[in-house]
Structure 1
Amino acid sequence: MARIIVIGAGIGGLPTSYEMRRILPPEHQITLISNTPKFTFIPSLPWVGLGLKSLEHIQLDVEKLVKNRGIEWVLGGVSQILPESKQVIVGERVISYDYAVIATGAELALDAVPGLQEEVGYVQSVCNPAHALKAATAWQKFLQNPGPLVVGAIPGAGCFGPAYEFALLADWLLRRYGLRNQVPITFVTPEPYVGHLGISGMANSAELVKKLLYQREIEVFENAAISQIESDKILLADGCTLPYAYAMLLPPFRGARFLREAPDLSDKKGFLPVLPTYQHPQFPSIYSVGVTTQLKPPEITPIPIGVPKTGQMTEAMGMAVAHNIGVELGVISAPLVTPTLEALCLADFGDTGIAFLADQVLPNPITGKRRRAVAMEGRWVSWSKTVFEKFFLTKMRCGVAVPWFEHWGLEVLGLSLVQPLSKI
């Protein structure tokens, strides 16, 4: 019997637990550990922050989801991991494991610049449920007394889609409310150019994003570093000052504290290095899924930024990890696999949207190119994101990670989640 723990019950951890339960015989124990009782569909948080959707609409009770599905549930935060002895500490409980899957998601580096700290409360973010709720409350107050709006990201951030969504959705809403003429909107990003998205070379994405921002009369500061935040203005490293009445800024991500404090486990930001199997190179009993995974940027940018780890990438990592653990245990007679890291992302802008397809997210290190890079604009993107939200939540309710028809749909698009190691 193998004892397998999955730390984190988000878009990475919950589907990975489901897939391992599907693959592994019941004698193998699967324990899901999370510091929150709810599963949240994170891609919908910009909608929550702007009051377009309630948080409850995109959350599920994890204990109810895993009950009677052969997955043990532990509610609590991991304070320490001991890779040598294969143990984690949750509160006063010590849990031993044979395999550990780290899928904790992101910790927000709110100490990245002065004034970003949560206790200061100057600006908003939509990176976790609590922050999205605070952003929604502040947004309603802002509508009563509108003024300059600043949206963007802090240097080191690695997921820019929510910032573009928030800025363009805010513009759309303000026009509907008849308030847009009272609200100058500024978009500030550390990306070398808008539409870079942390990966560069994304077909015509820069052209489409730039066109939309121009059409919506949103002023852009690209290749810009926010150096300090005050109660009514944002200071850039080049000396520019951006006044604001409301600001939504995406902070950099890092790994959980227990990862950063474990010797030889992570880099200084708490991200875990991985082999192509997504095992840790020094501790092969530990696997990584999602934001906690160390991925090197495809290029060095003037201002540091991270690599996005999208939902599809995270899902692919989880399926690869579940498969490879099955191979390790002798349950699956098949080659080891690695995630393809292909990504289809849907960004909703209210009356339109952009679908980004990167195959693969990280370009070939030798040629510097991807097999495919596509960006398409249309109102259908907004509808598609709503449909996908409902689809993903339904999957989680049903205890299924990737149903057969999802595999089929990806194949129709020429995509896949995993591939044999022999193909890399």
Structure 2
Amino acid sequence: MAHVVVLGAGIGGMPAAYELRSRLGAEHRITVVGAQHYFQFVPSNPWVAVGWRKRVDIVLDVAPLLARKGIEFVGKRAESIDAAASTLVLEGGDTLSYDYLVITTGPKLAFDEVPGAGPHSGHTHSVCTVEHAEEFWADYQAFLQNPGPVVVGAMPGTSCFGPAYEFAFILDADLRKRKLRHKVPMTYVSSEPYIGHLGLGGVGDSKSMLESEFRNHDIKWITNAKTTRVDAGKLFVSELNAKGEVDREHEVPFKLAMMLPAFRGVDAVARVEGLCNPRGFVLIDEFQRTKAYRNIFSAGVCVAIPPVEVTPVATGAPKTGYMIETMVTAIVENIAADLEGRPATAKGTWNAICLADMGDTGAAFVALPQIPPRNVNWFRKGKWVHLAKIAFEKYFLHKMKSGSSEPIYEKYVLKALGILRLEK
């Protein structure tokens, strides 16, 4: 009997556990370790921040869901990994041995890299967690009584820009519904070299289409923006030129700000010698297996992927849902192969696919592969994307509640977009 431990109970970890249970024999033990007792559907956090969703709509208690599938759950934070001994050390000193470890922790949010940033000790909000979204909602309700300037965007080193664009448009739509948009000047401040870069070097006509949307929604922007510090009500930004030299300095006023942070690897993973790059992201081979330890695999935001290109202000490459789904499937197949005495052959599909809500419309982009040149370089917008994202939220939460191991992107999203045909 083998013991497979999944570290992380999020968008990568929960599907990994379900797929492992479906693929491996009942004699094998599967345990999920999570710092929280709940799963949160992170893509819905922008909706929570403006009151379009409640916490109860997107959060699930994972222990009973996993138990129904014969999967154990340990609701404790991992303090360290003794990779040589194949053992996790948990908070409180408990240990958990494993034969295979699947790391799906997600990132550590690096608010500390910009003085004054962050939702707790700083002056900016985030939508990276449901708690952060709820904190924005609490401040937003007071803001609505006395509106003023808003800043939305992404700090230096950010790798996932989609939620920043989503939030800018969702906030714009909510303010228009409330007949308050005319009282709220909005500025998008981003480390991207241009609007629509998305950490991907642009996808299709993303630059011109998103610039046009910003103009139509009266959203100003600053790109190549190196946010250097945040004071109460003021964002300090150095705007760089193509050579990486300071071109202009900005002091952007705000009454409310949502700035996505850069990511690092979580401490317990980052401290393992030889496992990660200097940012704490897990170094893996083509089979999702770590380069340092053959019985440790990793998927999701916590893996190391190089930037698509060098930019004047540091940007990273996003890890989108479809990419994570295929990483997880590859891990499951390769663990099964190892247990059966076969070599690893399964590989994740590192393609970028995103459904971005824009309040009352939306934008979808597909980059196959993520790093140019691409076989598919596709960007579209329309109300159908807004509806598709709502439907996807329902599908994913249903998958988590039912314990389904089916690949949602492969079965629903790609089929709906016609991308399976394009990919072939």
TM-score band w.r.t. shorter chain = over 0.9
Alpha-carbon distance, 1:117 to partner:
4.0
Alpha-carbon distance, 1:414 to partner:
4.0
Q: Give the conservation status (yes or no) of the 8 Å contact 1:227–1:235.
A: yes
Q: Give, as a single letter, the amino acid of the residue that structure 2 aligns with 1:379.
A: K
| Superimposed CA distance per residue, residues 351-371 of structure 1 (whole angstroms, 9 cap, x where no aligned partner) | 2110111112233xxxxx111
TM-score, structure 1 normalization: 0.94
**Aligned equivalents of 1:330, 1:411: Cα separation in 2:** 32
Q: Which residue of 2 aligns with 1:131?
A: 132
Q: Give, as a single letter, the amino acid of the residue that structure 2 aligns with 1:259.
A: V
Q: Give, as a single letter, the amino acid of the residue that structure 1 aligns with 2:212.
A: K
Q: Which residue of 1 aligns with 2:384?
A: 380
Change (3 A) 1:406 1:267: closer
Task: Judge which range, 83-92 or 407-416, deviates more.
Answer: 407-416
Q: Which structure 2 residues correspond to residues 116-195 of structure 1 after superposition, within 5 A?
A: 116-195=117-196
**Aligned equivalents of 1:49, 1:209: Cα separation in 2:** 22
**Aligned equivalents of 1:115, 1:101: Cα separation in 2:** 35
Local SS of the residue matching 1:214: helix
**Aligned equivalents of 1:177, 1:408: Cα separation in 2:** 34
Alpha-carbon distance, 1:410 to partner:
3.5
Alpha-carbon distance, 1:45 to partner:
0.4
Q: Which residue of 2 aligns with 1:313?
A: 323
Local SS of the residue matching 1:225: strand
Q: Which residue of 1 aligns with 2:406?
A: 402
Q: Give the conservation status (yes or no) of the 8 Å contact 2:58–2:397.
A: yes
TM-score, structure 2 normalization: 0.94
Local SS of the residue matching 2:112: coil
Q: Which residue of 1 aligns with 2:352?
A: 343
**Aligned equivalents of 1:117, 1:171: Cα separation in 2:** 22
Q: Give the conservation status (yes or no) of the 8 Å contact 1:266–1:273.
A: yes
Change (3 A) 1:374 1:88: same
Q: Which residue of 1 aligns with 2:81?
A: 81
Q: Which residue of 1 aligns with 2:340?
A: 330
Alpha-carbon distance, 1:165 to partner:
0.8
**Aligned equivalents of 1:362, 1:10: Cα separation in 2:** 26
The alignment status of 1:294 with 2:304, answered yes or no, reads yes
**Aligned equivalents of 2:204, 2:6: Cα separation in 1:** 36
Q: Give, as a single letter, the amino acid of the residue that structure 2 aligns with 1:124.
A: H
Change (3 A) 1:338 1:406: closer
Change (3 A) 1:241 1:284: same
The alignment status of 1:4 with 2:4, answered yes or no, reads yes
**Aligned equivalents of 1:269, 1:178: Cα separation in 2:** 44
Q: Give the conservation status (yes or no) of the 8 Å contact 1:342–1:415.
A: no
**Aligned equivalents of 2:412, 2:403: Cα separation in 1:** 19
Q: Give, as a single letter, the amino acid of the residue that structure 2 aligns with 1:20.
A: L
Q: Which structure 2 residues correspond to residues 95-134 of structure 1 after superposition, within 5 A?
A: 95-134=96-135
Q: Give the conservation status (yes or no) of the 8 Å contact 2:364–2:379.
A: yes
Q: Give the conservation status (yes or no) of the 8 Å contact 1:147–1:244.
A: yes
Alpha-carbon distance, 1:68 to partner:
2.8
**Aligned equivalents of 1:302, 1:206: Cα separation in 2:** 17
Name stretches of at least 5 consecutive residues in structure 2 with no aligned partner.
239-247
Q: Give the conservation status (yes or no) of the 8 Å contact 1:35–1:76.
A: yes
Q: Which residue of 1 aligns with 2:287?
A: 277
**Aligned equivalents of 2:234, 2:415: Cα separation in 1:** 48
Number of aligned residues: 412
Change (3 A) 1:56 1:409: closer
| Superimposed CA distance per residue, residues 175-200 of structure 1 (whole angstroms, 9 cap, x where no aligned partner) | 11111111100001110101100011
Alpha-carbon distance, 1:228 to partner:
0.6
**Aligned equivalents of 2:412, 2:256: Cα separation in 1:** 44
**Aligned equivalents of 2:235, 2:202: Cα separation in 1:** 30
Alpha-carbon distance, 1:406 to partner:
4.5
The alignment status of 1:303 with 2:313, answered yes or no, reads yes
**Aligned equivalents of 1:370, 1:351: Cα separation in 2:** 30
Local SS of the residue matching 1:152: strand
Q: Give the conservation status (yes or no) of the 8 Å contact 1:232–1:243.
A: yes
Change (3 A) 1:142 1:394: same
**Aligned equivalents of 1:117, 1:50: Cα separation in 2:** 18
Local SS of the residue matching 1:192: coil
**Aligned equivalents of 1:353, 1:285: Cα separation in 2:** 41
| Superimposed CA distance per residue, residues 61-103 of structure 1 (whole angstroms, 9 cap, x where no aligned partner) | 1011111312111110000001111110112211111110000
Q: Which residue of 1 aligns with 2:395?
A: 391
**Aligned equivalents of 2:152, 2:216: Cα separation in 1:** 17
Alpha-carbon distance, 1:334 to partner:
8.5
% of aligned pairs identical?
40
Structure 1 residue ranges (4+ consecutive) displaced by more than 4 angstroms after TM superposition: 403-406
Q: Give, as a single letter, the amino acid of the residue that structure 2 aligns with 1:77.
A: R
Q: 1:352 aligns with which of 352, 358, 361?
A: 361
**Aligned equivalents of 1:408, 1:198: Cα separation in 2:** 25
Q: 1:361 aligns with which of 370, 374, 377?
A: 370
Change (3 A) 1:397 1:216: same
Alpha-carbon distance, 1:121 to partner:
3.7
Alpha-carbon distance, 1:335 to partner:
6.2
**Aligned equivalents of 1:263, 1:118: Cα separation in 2:** 31
Q: Give, as a single letter, the amino acid of the residue that structure 2 aligns with 1:81.
A: I
CA RMSD of aligned residues (A): 1.9
Q: Give, as a single letter, the amino acid of the residue that structure 1 aligns with 2:365.
A: F
**Aligned equivalents of 1:330, 1:208: Cα separation in 2:** 50
Alpha-carbon distance, 1:139 to partner:
1.1
Q: Which residue of 2 aligns with 1:366?
A: none
Change (3 A) 1:175 1:410: closer
Q: Give the conservation status (yes or no) of the 8 Å contact 2:338–2:344.
A: no
| Superimposed CA distance per residue, residues 17-58 of structure 1 (whole angstroms, 9 cap, x where no aligned partner) | 100110100111111000111111111100011111111101
**Aligned equivalents of 1:123, 1:362: Cα separation in 2:** 32
